[in-house]
Every structure is written in structure tokens, then in C-alpha cells.
Structure 1
């Protein structure tokens, strides 16, 4: 009875999903005008004349496209408690993530509107689609096991306990309505623990006796938890513990490298997998068709989209396209205007449209070199700084390098990691110290990498492979890319390039 009522309730969103599928431009125009109307009296709204109801073209001319660093002076004021800067009122919650070049973490405002009109609405959409696609699985008859991070005091307002910062998953869970909290496990006191080793252990013991029907989270951490639950239960695989498990909602990292491992961990014919694209800045897309790698762009969730073509990525004043202007098969950098007060914000992700009716995308990477196979979000600035620190500590120099993930081995209980293929200018005398300093510097610079490396729980120490002299030159020559304007890609989420270079060593 409860399962049927919940299913009927969430599936009421299906009509709204169909509406923005069929009327994308009208829906985006409404979202755009609503954002301007709500923020017209803010400092940002007054500066750029939102009360004039500018057209989309006028809005693009008036308001600059901003990176996090460029928007940070305004965000810092919001962090310090100033009201009506970017969005009406005083913002109390902030999602913390890495990826900025000038700080260990970045802080994204999370307003009441972005929680309810974006994250929670999209969560209902995903649930509605899952129950519609797989009605026989009765997903809502059991609990959804969701893994998230933690939150703590706002470091800019330590005198205000109500203002908090944390992983977006923790912000979402802490503010869930009671009906949604009923559907998930573990309880908040376990889900929000900040010590990951204790957290995994206590959650694993708690959920042993829970009827888990669905999983939600990042594959990296979910693998660690599933292995521990299976071990505690003395089972061969997780289906012996949770016979009704039939769905995994996954995101944050590419799922391809994990697919076989999950098949072995969950050898069930009823198991289904759906991808979500939920960032600190908003819930942007979700998989609405089975057996597809395409994600439906969410258009009525308080986010107005613009797109930067490849040839404009490095422009000081990039020209953007609206949804109506994008083309199939082209790569674009995402620009968001959101109900969290982010105005023409470059999120840093790149996407490619696979369908225009409805609008579906694939995430193709980042606008900069990036390593995010396990949710660690290592940017090129992190890597360069860590290499420099390791060189200084060991008295050596690096001629060239690249790094790629070492994915989980489905045959054992190994963890993922990073392989650093480095060509030194002279023989390295202290390889262990080099790796230790490289690792420690990355942990100091990048909070997400640090979390994954905590006690080697989800990410193993870096693996150093020393390339023979001339390795990278031979690889560049083989690619026809010798010359001053051609550079070795530093970071990649695929092993394709590093395997090619290894053949030249």
C-alpha cells in the first residue's frame, strides 16, 4: 500500500518532464525571466538592470561570463553573511568542492530555492523515471542506501551555527523533508559522519539488516561499502544480503571502468543502472532511457543554460549560444545562471549534444586538464604544484609527465589509484620521497583528493613509473606533434594515452 502511494505521488512529475521535453525553449524562457524577476532588487540585479527585463541577448551583453575566481569576491561576501548580494536574502548553506586554482576548496551558495526547485525536484524526477522504467522492481518498497559527505561550520561565520558548509550530498541530506528521509538509509547520524573509515564500518553494520532496494552515490565509495557489507555478512556477493536490490543511481565519475566490477559484486539479472549529473552548482541532467549513455538536460529546475563553443573557450569575452542555437555533435562549455545566485557561471564541464528533441547530452570532460576517475577532481594546477614540490624536496627536475587512473581490479579487493609516468632530467635518487611529497602536496591542495586518500580507503598512494629519456619526444613525434605549440596532456581520465606513451619508453 505504502509502495503504491509513494509511486503514484512521485510519478506525478512525469507530466512535467514530458512538458519540458516537448517545449524546451518556452520552459527555458520562463526560467530565465523568473530568475531575473526574483533577483531584480539584489545588488547584482541592480548593477545589471534586471528590472528592465532584458532579453537573453541583452542579458548576455550586460552580464559577464564568470569563473569561480572571478565571482569569488561576491561569493565571499555571501559567505560572510551579507544579504541580497547575488540572490535575495541571506544564504545559510554552501556546498564545498575542489577545483579552484586559488584555494583548497570552493564554496557554492545553496539557497532554499536551489534545494527545493532544483536538487529535490530533480530527485523526484529521477525516482519517477526509475519507477516508470522498471515497475517490476518495486524500488520504493525498500530503502535507498545513499552515501554522502559531511558538513561543518561556515569558516567565515563561526559565530553563526546556522550557517554550514559541506559536500552537496550532505547539504541535501541534512535538509531533506521527512517523507524523503523515510525512503533512505542510513540515518543521518551515520550518513554525515566525517571520519570515513568509521563511517563505512558503522554504515556497513547498520545496513546488514535493512531491506535495501536501491543505491545512490559515487561508484568509488559504493564499492568500498559493498565489499565491507559482503565481508561482514560472510556472503559471496551482495545479492545474498539484499535480494531486492535492483537499482544504482550513480554519478560524479565515468561509470564504464566500474561496470564489470559492479556486475561481479551484484550478479543479479534484475539490477539496473541509471546515471545522474548532480553538481554542487545544481542537478543538471539524468538518464531517462535504459541502455543509453545519454542524459536528459533538466530545463525547469531553476537553471538557465548557455553554451561556449570550443573556439571561444580561451576568449576573454566568450560568445555564448542559447539552447536554440546549439548543434549536434559539437562540444560546448557549460555556462549556468541559477537560483543559487550564480550568474553566467562557467562550471568548467564540457558537454556534447546527442539529441535536440529532446535535449540530451554526454559529459565530455573539463575545460582544463582534469583527473576525476574517483571523484578526486585533481586539476592541472594541483598536479604542477605537487610535481614542483616533489622536485624541490628531492633535488631533481622533471622533463615531462602525464598521469592517468589505475582502475579497480574486478578480480580482487584492490583500490583505485593514479599512475604518474614521469621523465626526469637526471636519474632520481629518492623515488619514495618523491612520491610521498607528491602525494602529500596533492592532499594539502585538494580536499577531494585528500578525502579519497584518507587511510588509503578509496584511493591508493600514487604509483611512479620512470620513463626512459626521450620517451615523450618519441610519442609526440609519432603523433606528428613535435613543436613548441604541442604539449603533452598532463591529466586524463582514460588510460589510452599513457599506454601509448609507455610503449615508447
Structure 2
């Protein structure tokens, strides 16, 4: 065993004086633990050095108030060692938010500075990406500069992801893209689903189906089932479905690539699209379906499994976010789709403690079983110690890659009621209790928001009824309330005082798909999520307008 001495420095202000306190703690650790900590520390120092060297030519670096102390340090310490640079980065740069970058983002995106180099990152933006609007509000836009190593990173993502599949996936088969580029450019979500369904059904050699979220795969499956007769008629006659909404110039490109295939239509007419494994009957060569299934998207797994059958692999997609790109790569644990390893792709991830001193720590300081909020520094976006808000639980380190393994817990926030905060994880548990009771009557998605009536607050849950469902709210509101009282002691203490019983609204069938279509007008269709908590008033009103 080796001795480890840790010094924690805390700086506080007391009037005009600055008080510095040092806490020295001695522990003992194994040689293997020391080697791992040294590896992680050196890795972090290398990434930080590259990050600072890349971005110190930018206008944001030279002018941003958030970086003032760090700039001053580097002006007087022109050749710091990697260890010194890491210490300055850790101690002198505060956590930043979207508002710290808004002026620069506006200049690049809408203010005429798109061709001005070196604002947030070296050079000019190659493209603009948008956030997935998790809470239902307006998506955030970020300009991005591409780097030469992105292709290598994506290859490594697939290698790390697939090595966890016991049987692997056969990549020797010839792969063709059966969907024209023009289809992928369509913004109207229902039209996008219909055309992907049409081209997919036409091609009997489909071997892989993928989407960002499992909810999109389910929307696509339901589109095929609901429009089967029309789709097969189009395949037989070489026509396109009625009511499609095309962006300018796309319709002719799509029509020119489409032709009749009567024999394929006859094959498909013999298949029951409601039976188990029907997708394997439609596409005999189908090997895998990939989609993000973490968090609330795990609810889609049983329905996808029913459609594809037992022989087709479900590959859990990456844990990604706009600001951090690939945050985690799934361990492909069928029992827990929320387990990911965080790779070293040149992005600095740090971890904000959720309790105690709420210190911002490095990967080498993580403690097993503790929960943290993610903070990211990404040179491709030019963001420094940016607060993500995602909550993760540290599980351990991967034995082969030495990367940290985390369990995704949820987003920061939840619903703030006057007497208490109801967390997202508590809301999810309550909704899951309803799904467990009436899973055959409602879709596996929901949203929620605060509800005020006569001064007594509660939480409203919106669930979508399936067609022909006769489910009622009777008893289910009590289920929600009971779970929240069990999970949240303050909610329980204030119940029937400041708080009242939870409320359920049932949405008409197809409402969540319509919501994705509505949001896809301003956000890429693959980025649209059903918000667990709908904090945006416009979004709340939209859902209330679609209640039965």
C-alpha cells in the first residue's frame, strides 16, 4: 500500500479580506490505484494543454470576463508545465453557461460575422448544430469547427460499442443506402417517416435500422403499420403517398428515384404487420436496430423487440449531447441501458459534486456510488467548463480502456413546487408505476409540468392513449401521488396542505408523434425529445390542447 496526501484549498471572502484554508488528508491506496490515478491525471493534463493551445488565439479567450483570471496567469507565466497549466485551469476558470457565449454565438449565427475567423475557435464555423430542446423550450444553436480526427473518433465509437455484443455484427455484407439524400433533407416529420417507410419496405435487403432515439424508431414502426395499405399500393404502382410536404426542389429528386415493384408489393401483402417478429419477415437480412435507449427511452425496448423478434440485435446508441458530442459509449448491458463509458476524445469532462461542498473534480477524484453533474470543455465549439446539467452516477473504471463508467440518471432540475423540488428521477418512477399497471392501454412516453389550482400545487402528467383504449384516470392519479410521497419526504409532509393529488390528462392517439412533427419544424427531427418536464409554457399549452 502507498500513502497518498491530498491538499484541498478553499478560498473565501470575509469583508475586505480573502481567507485561504488548506485541508490536508492522508490515505493509503494500492499500487494499481496509484498507477490508474497517474494515468488519468497525465491524460487530463495532455487534453487541457491541447485545449488551451488551440483556443488561446480566439477573441473569446482574449476578451471573455470568465477567463480574466486565467489570462492574467498565463500573461505572467508564459511557459507553464502541464501540471501548472492544469492547476490554473482548475482553480481560475469558473463554470460557464450559455449566456457567457451568447454574444459570440449571435454574431456568428445571425450577426454577419460567420466569415470572421477566430471568434470562439480557430478559423470559421463549418456548420451549425442545435441542442435537442430537452425541456421543450427553444433549442440552442452552436457553430462548430470540424477537426481531422472526427472520423477516427467515430470509428472508435463503433468499435467500442460493438465489442460489447457477444456475437458481434457481420460487416462483410455489401451495404447500400436505400434512402435517397433528398428524403433525408425533408423537414416535415410525418413526410419524413412515410418516405423512410416507403423506401425501407421496397428494399428487402435492409440489414440495419438506426435512429438517435428509440421513440423515433417506434414512430417509424407505427407509421408502417398505420399506412400499410397505402404504402404497398405505392410500391405496386410506383406512386407516392398523398399529402406529403416537400421542401423546395426535393419532390422531383425523390420522384426520379422511385419506381414500381409489383412483386415486392405482393410479398409484403402476405405478411401480418401486427404479429411478433414481423420486421424480420419483411427484412430477412435485418441484423440490428440501433437507437438511444437510456433514461426514458428505455420504455421503447420491449415494443421494438416485439417487432424485430429475438434474433435481431438491439444496439444501444451513444450517450450524446450537442455541447459534448459523444459523452458516453453504451456497455450494451441488456439489463441496464443507462451504463456508459466516457471515452477520451479530446473533450475535457469534469464532475460537479451534487452534495457536500459541491466541488468540481477531475476523473481521477471520482468516488464509486456518488452522483455528479457534468461539466464540459470542447475546443470544437470553443466552450470552457460549460455546465451541462446531466446527472450521472460513477460506477467504476473500465478494466481495458481505463475510462470511467457512469450510469445516466437524468437532467438537473425536475419540477420546483413552492414547498419542495420534485426531481426528474422521482417523476420517472411515478410514471413508470403507471406504465406497469396499464402498459397495454397507453404509449410508453409521457410529459409533466407544475399545476396550480386555488393556491394548492401538484404535478400534471400527460399520457397518450392507444387507439381503442378505454383506460381512465380512476386510481392512477393515486398511484402517481403514492410514489411521489414515498420518494420525496417533503412532498409527503406537505400533502393535503400546500400540495394536492397528482393530475392525469390523456392525450389523443398519435399526439406525441404530432409533437415531434411540430418541434421538428425548428429542430432536426432526430433531435426531438418528449420532455420529461415541460417547463416551456408554449409546450405545456400544446399538450393541453391535445388532451381528450
TM beyond 0.5: yes
Q: How many residues align?
A: 372
Counterpart position of 2:315? 273
Counterpart position of 2:209? 215
**C-alpha deviations, 1:7-34, integer Å up to 9, x for none?**
xxxxxxxxxxxxx999544333222211
1:95 partner SS: strand
Q: 1:418 and 2:447 equivalent? A: yes
- Deviation for aligned residue 1:350: 1.1
Paired with 1:208 and 1:424, the residues of 2 have a C-alpha distance of: 50
Closer, same or farther: CA 421–22 of 1 in aligned 2, 3 Å: same
Q: What does 1:461-476 align with in structure 2 at a 5 Å threshold? A: 475=485
Q: 1:190 and 2:183 equivalent? A: yes
Are the aligned partners of 1:424 and 1:467 in contact in 2 as well (CA < 8 Å)?
no
Paired with 2:90 and 2:360, the residues of 1 have a C-alpha distance of: 8
- Residue 362 of structure 2, aligned match among 317, 322, 332: 322
Q: What does 1:96-495 align with in structure 2 at a 5 Å threshold? A: 96-97=130-131, 99=133, 104-113=138-147, 117-118=149-150, 120-129=151-160, 131-132=162-163, 133=165, 137-139=169-171, 141=173, 143=175, 184=177, 186-210=179-203, 211-217=205-211, 218-229=213-224, 232=228, 233=268, 234=271, 235=273, 236=275, 237-251=278-292, 253-254=294-295, 255-281=297-323, 282-288=325-331, 290-291=333-334, 293=336, 294-299=339-344, 301-311=345-355, 319-339=359-379, 340-357=381-398, 358=402, 359-369=404-414, 404=431, 411=440, 414=443, 416-418=445-447, 422=451, 424-425=453-454, 475=485, 479=489, 481-482=492-493, 493=532
Paired with 1:191 and 1:65, the residues of 2 have a C-alpha distance of: 37
2:207 partner SS: strand
Closer, same or farther: CA 354–102 of 1 in aligned 2, 3 Å: closer
Paired with 2:129 and 2:367, the residues of 1 have a C-alpha distance of: 32
Are the aligned partners of 2:130 and 2:322 in contact in 1 as well (CA < 8 Å)?
yes
Normalised by the length of structure 2, the TM-score is 0.57
Normalised by the length of structure 1, the TM-score is 0.61
Q: Look at both structures and tell me which one has the larger radius of gyration over its CA atoms.
A: 2
- Deviation for aligned residue 1:272: 3.3
Paired with 1:246 and 1:477, the residues of 2 have a C-alpha distance of: 41
Counterpart position of 1:13? none
Counterpart position of 2:46? 30
**C-alpha deviations, 1:13-65, integer Å up to 9, x for none?**
xxxxxxx9995443332222111111121123335436845522211232221
Closer, same or farther: CA 142–487 of 1 in aligned 2, 3 Å: farther
Counterpart position of 2:122? 88
Paired with 1:64 and 1:100, the residues of 2 have a C-alpha distance of: 24
1:332 partner SS: strand
1:353 partner SS: strand
1:351 partner SS: strand
Closer, same or farther: CA 419–290 of 1 in aligned 2, 3 Å: closer
Q: Please tell me the root mean square deviation across aligned C-alpha atoms, in Å.
A: 4.7
Closer, same or farther: CA 127–35 of 1 in aligned 2, 3 Å: same
Counterpart position of 1:443? none
Q: Which runs of 5+ in 2 are unaligned?
A: 1-35, 64-69, 229-267, 422-428, 467-471, 503-529, 534-548
Closer, same or farther: CA 103–272 of 1 in aligned 2, 3 Å: closer
- Deviation for aligned residue 1:221: 1.0
Are the aligned partners of 2:186 and 2:192 in contact in 1 as well (CA < 8 Å)?
yes
Closer, same or farther: CA 253–263 of 1 in aligned 2, 3 Å: same
- Residue 70 of structure 1, aligned match among 69, 76, 100: 100
1:305 partner SS: strand
Are the aligned partners of 2:435 and 2:442 in contact in 1 as well (CA < 8 Å)?
no
2:202 partner SS: coil
Paired with 2:220 and 2:368, the residues of 1 have a C-alpha distance of: 39
